[in-house]
Amino acid sequence: MKHTISLKVNGESYEIDVQSETVLLDLIREKLDLTGTKDGCRSGECGACTVMMNGVPVNSCMVLAVEADGSEITTIEGLSKGEELHPIQKSFIEKGAVQCGYCTPGMILSAKALLDRNNDPTSEEVKKAIRGNICRCTGYQKIEEAIMDAASTMRGDEK
C-alpha cells in the first residue's frame, strides 16, 4: 500500500510517497540520494544505518519509512555547515578514527547524540553510547579518543 508522508530531513521538508514495507534506510539512500547513511546488517546489530530521529539515534533499517511521517531526521549530511565540518567530524579525521569509513557516519551520529545530552562524558559513557555501532577496522580506541577530544573542543566553543 502506498502512503504519502511528510518529514524533514536535515532541515529540508519533503512530501513523498512510500510503500508500507519501505524502511527509512532505503527512503534516505534511494529516494533522497543521501548515501552517507550506510546499509549493513539490516537487523539492528551494526549501527551503520544510524540516523537521528526527533533528536535521538535510531537504526534506520529498523524503522518503516511510514513510521517516520511527521518526524525530523538528521543524517550525516546534515552535520556540516556547508564546507565547515562538525567538530566531531574534524576530530575523527584528526585522531585517525576513520579507516574504511563504513561505520563512520553511524558512529558520528551516535557520538553526537551522546554529546547533545552530556557534553562531558566519561570513557565508560562513550563506550556505552557507541555499543550499537560496530567498527571492523579501528579497534575503537581512536574512535573513543576522537569523541572525547570533540567533547572537549565543543565545551571550549561554548565558553
Partner 1 sequence: MNRFDYLKPAGIKEACTILADKGSKAKPLAGGTDLLVRWRKGKISPEYLVDLKGLGLEGVSVSKDGGISIGALSTLNSLLDSEYICRNYSFLTEILDDMGSVQIRNRATVGGNICNASSTSDLAPILLALGAKAKAVALDGERELKLETFFLSPGKTVLSENEILTDIQLPPFSKKSGAVYLKMKRNAMDLALAGVAVFLTLQDEDTCAAAKIVLGAVSPTPVIVTQASDELVGARINETNIEKAADLTAKAVTLVEKEVRPIDNVRASSWYRQDVVKSLTAQAIEIAYKRALQSIKK
Ligand X SMILES: Cc1cc2nc3c(=O)[nH]c(=O)nc-3n(C[C@H](O)[C@H](O)[C@H](O)COP(=O)(O)OP(=O)(O)OC[C@H]3O[C@@H](n4cnc5c(N)ncnc54)[C@H](O)[C@@H]3O)c2cc1C
Cβ-contact 38, 105 below 8 angstroms: yes
Q: Which of 4, 12, 14, 20 binds partner 1 (CB under 8 A)?
A: 20
Q: With binding defined as CB under 6 A, does residue 45 bind ligand X?
A: yes
| Cell 584528526, residue located | 94
Q: With binding defined as CB under 8 A, does residue 133 bind partner 1?
A: yes
C-alpha cell at 127: 563506550
Q: With binding defined as CB under 6 A, does residue 96 bind ligand X?
A: no
Q: With binding defined as CB under 6 A, does residue 44 bind ligand X?
A: yes
Q: Which of 44, 96, 101, 139 binds partner 1 (CB under 8 A)?
A: 44
Strands (E), 20-157: 50-53, 56-59, 72-74
SS3 string of 123-136? Answer: HHHHHHHCCCCCCC
Q: With binding defined as CB under 6 A, does residue 42 bind ligand FES?
A: yes
Which has the closest alpha carbon to 130: 118, 149, 144, 116?
144
Cβ-contact 133, 103 below 8 angstroms: yes
Question: Which listed option, ligand X, partner 1, ligand FES, none, makes contact with residue 100 (CB within 5 to 8 Å by class)?
Answer: ligand FES
| Cell 524503522, residue located | 63
Cβ-contact 129, 111 below 8 angstroms: yes
Shortest approach of partner 1 to residue 156 CB, angstroms?
25
Q: Which of 135, 146, 148, 150 binds ligand FES (CB under 6 A)?
A: 135
Q: Which residues bind ligand X (CB under 6 A)?
A: 44-45
Q: Which residues bind partner 1 (CB under 8 A)?
A: 1, 3, 19-21, 23, 42-45, 47, 50, 53, 56-59, 62-64, 66-67, 110, 113-114, 128-129, 131-133
